[in-house]
Amino acid sequence: MQPIPLITLRNGAQVPALGQGTWNMGESAAAAGAEVRALQAGIDLGMTLIDTAEMYADGQSERIVGRALAGRREQVYLVSKVLPHNASERGTIAACEASLKRLGTDHLDLYLLHWRGSHPLAATIAGMETLMAQGKIGGWGVSNLDTDDMDELADAPGGEQVLCNQVLYNLSRRGIEYDLLPQAAQSHIAVMAYSPIEQGRILKQPALKAIAQRHGVTPAQVALAWVLRRPGVIAIPKAADVAHVQANRACLDLHLNENDLSELDAAFPPPRRKQPLAML
């Protein structure tokens, strides 16, 4: 089993390039036990970055994560997000404190603005700085911000402390390759790719299926390996059962060759011009 590559953030923290997402977890009480076991299995396999948000299942996702972390919080790099309408200076602090309570912990490793809202970025940053000073978060970042938003953020007081931008990135959503990925690399900002297999919608694409068959793997593993081939990119696929987690982890044993990559470029062409930032 290939080790999971580590990515070093601007604050020196090292995180695995393959983590675990939790979007849509916590929505069914019947599935909760399997979801907890899946997250714990992922931790055991080294997928120790777990991403959640106050929005997911109205806080129930955070409660699922809290159950999975019981007795092993120190093993995990924990990420959550504040909703835009809560992201005033005081609102950011209050939302974080509510997330910590649901998660059953006293600190987050990374706290993200979920997407751009009406509150000024400077107000959100001020709230993040207070939370850092109080030891409630180890660092902060953003999600779903395009290049112009990132430029504005960089010019705001304290904006240079941003660690990460979590955005939609997969074979069918390659727009960020044109400008946002190069911008992030130049600024030493990590990119966290959510929905790296487009919530399963791309998995029946013929080229993807053919490459998977050639390598004796699944189309999802090919799609994940493709995202993870890029330096500075973290992928956070969701898996709600142990077998799915194990399959995600095994994608790192797959090496895509130049022929594979050319076929994928033909099936999913890279961007030739600026595209609006895609969101789900």
Most distant CA atoms of the chain, gap in Å: 54
Bind-site residues:
114
56 tagged catalytic: yes
> What one-letter code names the amino acid at 226?
W
Handedness of CA 24, 231, 204, 41 (dihedral sign): negative
Q: What end-to-end distance do the CA atoms of the chain give, in Å?
A: 32
Closest among 216, 202, 143 to 171, alpha carbons compared: 202
224, 247 in Cβ contact below 8 A?
no
> Which residues are known binding-site members for substrate?
114
How many CA atoms, within 13 angstroms, populate the side-chain half-sphere of residue 222?
Answer: 26
- Exposure pattern of 221-230 as b/e (b: 16+ CB <10 Å)? bbbbbbbbeb
Given 56, 77, 169, 194, the catalytic residue: 56
Which residues does the annotation mark as catalytic?
A: 56
